[in-house]
Amino acid sequence: MDVNEIIKPENLVYGKPRLMNDNAMHYCPGCSHGVVHKLVAEVIEDMGMEENAIGIAPVGCAVFAYNYIDIDWLEAAHGRAPAIATAVKRLNPSKMVFTYQGDGDLAAIGTAETIHACNRGENIVIIFINNGIYGMTGGQMAPTTLEGMVTSTCPYGRNVELNGYPLKISDLVAQLDGACYVTRQSVHTPAAVRKAKKALRQAFENSMNHKGASLVEIVSTCNSGWKMTPDQANKWMEQHMFEKYPLGDLKNE
């Protein structure tokens, strides 16, 4: 059989989402961001919201998220994405508004904005990439860095006496009356990817149904920052990250 006989529309089982453009990604090979970007693009397309989606990009590795998903974006100051999303959504209730943030952005410098946007029940989606490290700036300690985990600013491992404890911010958000859906997912296996996509879809639907704030945490790898191969990083995440950050819904109302 000739290859051209196989490449036919009726045989197509998978395609790149139209919203993902052809810009070469700056993410490291093995990084979780690419998969999550693709899922966000797919969900927006599946919902037919291409012209109504507005993304808020963070400061961190995903600072250039706006280069890859072909929708309108606002680039936030470090940590301020939920405040920006608050205004975008309140001023444009028919739009589908989401932030895309890392652990440093969301759980350190932007803690107040995260907590208060969720507590106000803003009809937005917060996508939270938790890889336990500051990737963009070269691998420093994050609020979510595990105890004993080595980073460039805790080179002898995170010491809780010096640095405090890993912050389970999704658990905090789940306590807030304004948050309707808080879930923790991952994208390290095909099954996990499918579940993560389902969670993102529900979060986006919540925002359009005015149910309140939805936070989707994706426990992720940063193999460059962790100084591992992508495969090692996935295994390390399963062994260590999931213990502190167990997957599943924390709240679903």
Partner 1 sequence: MAEEIRLMKGNEAIAHAAIRCGADGYFGYPITPQSEILETLMELKPWETTGMVVLQAESEIAAINMVYGGAGCGKAVMTSSSSPGVSLKQEGISYLAGAELPCLIINVMRGGPGLGTIQPSQADYFQTVKGGGHGDYRLITLAPASVQEMADFVGLGFELAFKYNNPAIILADGVIGQMMEKVVLPPFQKRRTEEEIRKNCPWAALGKTADRKRNVITSLELDPAVMEENNIRFQKKYKIIEKEEVRYEEINCEDADYLIVAFGSMARICQKTIEMAQEQGIKIGLLRPITLWPFPSQAIAAYTDKVKGIISVELNAGQMVEDVRLAVNGKVKVEHFGRLGGIVPTPDEVLSAIKEKLM
Binding positions for partner 1, rule: CB under 8 A: 50-54, 56-57, 63, 66, 70-77, 80, 83-88, 90-92, 95, 112-113, 115-116
CB of 216 to partner 1, least distance (A): 20
CB of 115 to partner 1, least distance (A): 8
Helices and strands (H and E) in the chain: how many? 11, 9
The strand ranges marked E within the chain are: 53-57, 72-75, 96-102, 125-130, 133-134, 140-141, 179-186, 213-219, 248-252
- C-alpha 236/C-alpha 227 separation (Å) is 11
CB of 208 to partner 1, least distance (A): 13
DSSP bridge pairs for 69:
20
CB of 191 to partner 1, least distance (A): 32
Closest to partner 1 by CB, 119 or 252: 119
CB of 112 to partner 1, least distance (A): 6
Structure tokens at 104: 């440093």
Closest to partner 1 by CB, 77 or 247: 77
Closest to partner 1 by CB, 75 or 205: 75
The label of the residue with tokens 């969301």 reads: 106
State the distance between the two ends of the chain, measured CA to CA, in whole angstroms.
Answer: 52
Closest to partner 1 by CB, 96 or 216: 96
Q: Which of 167, 27, 15 is nearest to 100 (CA)?
A: 27
CB of 84 to partner 1, least distance (A): 4
Strands 133-134 and 125-130, bridge-based pairing: unpaired
Closest to partner 1 by CB, 85 or 218: 85
- C-alpha 114/C-alpha 1 separation (Å) is 55
36 close to 79: Cβ distance less than 8 angstroms: no
Closest to partner 1 by CB, 72 or 249: 72
